[in-house]
Amino acid sequence: MMDERLASMSPDELRGAMRSLGYRTQNDLAQAIGVSRSAVSLWLEGKVGVPRPIAMLLRMLVAAQRRAY
């Protein structure tokens, strides 16, 4: 079984991660992780998969935030 943390991220999961991390806009997320806003847009539209390292990073941040509260 593949570790789901290593999988790419669906647009819905990406939206949820953005919400829980407080990124209100595509631009907010893009600036925070050092990618273009158009890259974030393509991920959210499901046209391009979220790169695995970014998916992992966002999952780790969400998990860390849940533990903090």
- Domain with residue 56: its CATH number is 1.10.260
Write out the residue range of the structural domain in which residue 17 sits: 4-68
Average pLDDT, consecutive stretches of 10 residues, N- to C-terminus, the chain (69 residues): 66 96 97 96 95 93 85
C-alpha 37/C-alpha 15 separation (Å) is 14
- Nearest Cα residue to 12 out of 50, 39, 38: 50
pLDDT value at position 26?
Answer: 97
pTM for the complete prediction?
0.84
pLDDT value at position 2?
Answer: 53
**Total domains, the chain:** 1
